[in-house]
Amino acid sequence: MKHVFLMSLVLSLVALIFSASQAMAEAEGAHGMKEEKKADRFGIVLAVFGTSHESALPAILNIQNKVAAAFPHTPVKLAFTSNMIRKIWQKRGADPAYVKAHPEVPREILEVKGVLASISDLQDKGVDYIVVQPVHMAAAEEYHDLASYVSALNSIRTMKPKNMPFKRILLGRPIMGAYSLQHVYAEDLKTLAEVLAPDVQEAKAKGQALVYMAHGNEYMPAGYYMELEHVMNQMYPDVKTFITMVEGFPGLNVLREKLRHIKAKRVVLRPLMVVAGDHAKNDMAGEEPDSIRSVLQKDGIQVNVELRGLGELNGFAELVASHIRDAAVDAGVELR
């Protein structure tokens, strides 16, 4: 009986130990599952060249608002890539008189940061994935600089994986697309042409040609813009569309030749830029004799100017949001 009792006691103790071990394992497993199921945190940095003109800010703010509405659970930071423009706003933000005189300018603009600082702010808040979305027209100088930033930051490797500053930084493609096997740039050009349909309708109603002024670059080819011009004329054959540049090819003289060829008498002139800032107000629509408007008027052409940045168009802002979503999906993550 004594042996039976001892054996029963041992078995009971073994059962208790097993139950306790199992409970601990389940608790640890549950804790591990909680760790594993902990939701990743996401953030968005809108990288815009920027503008120093208060009247041009609505284009940038409209894009920011539409992106924030598309991803209501994801913080959206605004960054200006131009060092000069950031300094202008920071100087204004430190001037109480300016701040009082311009209540329409948000504090975020007065304290605007660059891309690296904006990424750092999100990283400090524990964001795991950051989408850097260029709000630039073409995959040119600004885009290549951003790609360099992102590549460098993604190369960081800490001794312990848990100490990595973030899981990954993603780079969206610019408005007119970039080299990509998943997203063919020609489709982005078509989408942009669809966004510009209201301009075509206005030009058609007034019996005018449609002329866009883009920024351009002396060191980068103008293929995207030339192809966009072709797409516009294919999609909207009733209106002749032309694109000219502030810098690089095709310049104003090329535009004049094209307008003379079709014997144009009236044109609608608009910026093919995110904002209608300094270039639009001066190089395009200024009173100076070398502005596009002045030169065309001297050629006997009636010029109808509209100073409106593309960012003011909701369709354009939604296009930016779609590129952000694509960058996330391509990386296997979902923004909310």
Q: What is the pLDDT of residue 309?
A: 97
Q: Quickly list H helices, the chain.
A: 2-37, 57-70, 83-93, 96-101, 107-110, 115-124, 141-154, 185-195, 197-206, 223-235, 252-261, 278, 292-298, 314-330
Are the folds of 42-183+314-330 and 188-308 the same?
yes
Q: Choose which CATH entry (3.40.50.450, 3.40.50.720, 3.40.50.1400, 3.40.50.300) describes domain 188-308.
A: 3.40.50.1400
pLDDT one-digit tens code per residue, 80-127: 999 999 999 999 999 999 999 999 999 999 999 999 999 999 999 999
Q: Choose which CATH entry (2.60.120.620, 3.40.50.2300, 3.40.50.1400, 3.30.70.141) describes domain 42-183+314-330.
A: 3.40.50.1400
The interaxial angle of helices 185-195 and 314-330, nearest 10 deg, is 160
pLDDT one-digit tens code per residue, 243-282: 999 999 999 999 999 999 999 999 999 999 999 999 999 9
Q: What is the pLDDT of residue 12?
A: 54
Residue ranges per domain, the chain? 42-183+314-330, 188-308
Q: What is the pLDDT of residue 95?
A: 97
Q: Parallel, antiparallel, or unpaired: how do β-strands 76-80 and 129-134 relate?
A: unpaired
218 pLDDT band (50/70/90 cuts)? confident
**pTM of the full structure:** 0.86
